Amino acid sequence: MLHRLATSLRRPAVPPFSAAVRCLSSGSVDITVPLNFWAGTRQTSQEKCNTEKVYEPATGRVLCHLEPCGAAEVNQAVETAKSAFGHWSKMSGMERAKIMIEAAHIIESRREEIAEIEVVNNGKSITESRLDVDSARLCIEYYAALATTLAGQHVQLPGGSFAYTRREPLGVCVGIGAWNYPFQIAAWKSAPALACGNSMVFKPSPVTPVTAVLLAEVYAKAGAPEGLYNVVQGGQETGSLLCHHPDVAKVSFTGSVPTGKKIMEMASQGVKYVTLELGGKSPLLIFQDSDLENAVSGALMANFLSQGQVCSNGTRVFVHKDVLPEFVEEVVKRTRAIEIGDPLLESTRMGALVSMSHLERVLSFVDQAKKEGATVLCGGEPFVPSDPKLKGGYYMTPCVLGNCTDEMTCVKEEIFGPVMSVLSFESEEEVLLRANDSPLGLAAGVFTRDVKRAHRVVEHLKAGSCFINNYNITPVEVPFGGFKMSGIGRENGKVTIEHYSQLKSVYVEMGDVDSLF
């Protein structure tokens, strides 16, 4: 199975395997096959002279060389997607669903393979990576089911006339992914697009380019028309070509606010549909009546999943002053116990950050916090695993900052790393004002035993995805997206169908034309 990903592995190819068998190890993979995919197969870019190095976060070694796509390759990918759209859009929802369900079955059968390659390319733990692959599969299954339900509305009008609506696909959609959830985001964007009858050209982050092409191969093997889902590699220039392309109907982007603004501006020139899932600096409110053990667990989940590289993370942890000492003691104790190291080991709970530059950026936020008066309660330092092959990896100890205030940089800016800022509050009214004092509004959470308070607080939190007595739970049935500068549109849930389709109204006259002329 692995030979389809790389023609050069340092260990021989292996048969299908279960989650209990480790088939890859950190530092063992070299990828030499093309990572672009259109017209039903992997493609080599004409931009070979401009290849970029892609690194394995766990070891710091070069994993492969990325061949970015220029105008010629983007045109080919869009053209093949446009051709596939003509066939796919005319298929019934049941016919589309059959192929999507088969794709989900293939993902399930290749779960461990995909999860391991995701770890090698991204650095997160194998435990989390498996859950990401499961989320991708469930998303495709969910939208396969919705594909069979797409329908319009019948409206009875006077005199026997009537009107009806048709929900129709948009055409060629572009997905632009982020590096923190490469395979999952590719599925989250493609599943609703394909369910509605669209085709897609997907551009993964150049930092994590490897697994998106696996999804392309999955769709192809499942029986999708040639060119239905395509992958083009590259950075800003490739993304710009896609956003400006006249045959692209929609752009869905996950990433930073500044890049999201640029994509929105580019898409506006062609009046294209846009979905933006952008950054966050989310608040987590822990009241004095909380189940403290659950609250600590929630705070850890809100800050340290994927090495803290999650846009919805609740990094501003507001704790009521009456339980602050007890909360801090327990959260520091459990943070120090997090096992850091080889992300392909079952015991590891925190792997490597995605790149050296990003690691340095996160550590600089910790240094800045100390200069501004915050106290490092634990962590916040580079970490060197004992395994010699991991010494070049991008590791740090998870960090808890105390004595934080609302004006500090660590509280105001998105760090996107394993850094928790703990703040104290005294009243519900006060903490709501502070929690909402941000230009971002992706997520928020509250821990309390008081049901009335929980719903009252959530009503006043200015965020698109809110959690009561838990955090970072994202079922594919539930819409996900933000308020304010955290984005436009939604991913997952039934409502996303509206973001990948358009409504046509048809009036049917059953009598004579009543002309004024």
Where in the sequence numbering do the catalytic residues fall? 277
Give dist(CA 264, CA 51) in Å, integer: 28
Handedness of CA 135, 137, 141, 147 (dihedral sign): positive
Q: Whose CA is closest to 199, among 78, 363, 37, 49?
A: 78
Q: Which residue type sits at 337? A: A
Handedness of CA 361, 362, 366, 368 (dihedral sign): positive
200 forms beta bridges with 173, 229
Give dist(CA 462, CA 26) in Å, integer: 42
Q: Which residues contact 277 (CB under 8 A, 6 or more apart)?
A: 252, 253, 254, 255, 311, 480, 481, 482, 486, 487, 489, 491
Is there a contact between 68 and 44 (Cβ–Cβ < 8 Å)?
A: no
User: In the structure encoding, which two tokens stand for residue 38, read together?
Assistant: 């259109």
φ and ψ at 113, to 5 degrees? -60, -50
Strands 162-169 and 154-156, how do they pair?
antiparallel
Q: Whose CA is closest to 499, among 188, 225, 213, 274?
A: 274
Q: Whose CA is closest to 51, among 253, 245, 209, 212?
A: 209
Give dist(CA 93, CA 114) in Å, integer: 28
> What is the radius of gyration, based on Cα positions, of the chain?
24
User: In the structure encoding, which two tokens stand for residue 437, read together?
Assistant: 């004092």
Burial of 505 (0-12, 13-18, 19+ CB in 10 A): exposed
Rounded to the nearest 10 degrees, the angle between the axes of helix 71-88 and helix 236-244 is: 50
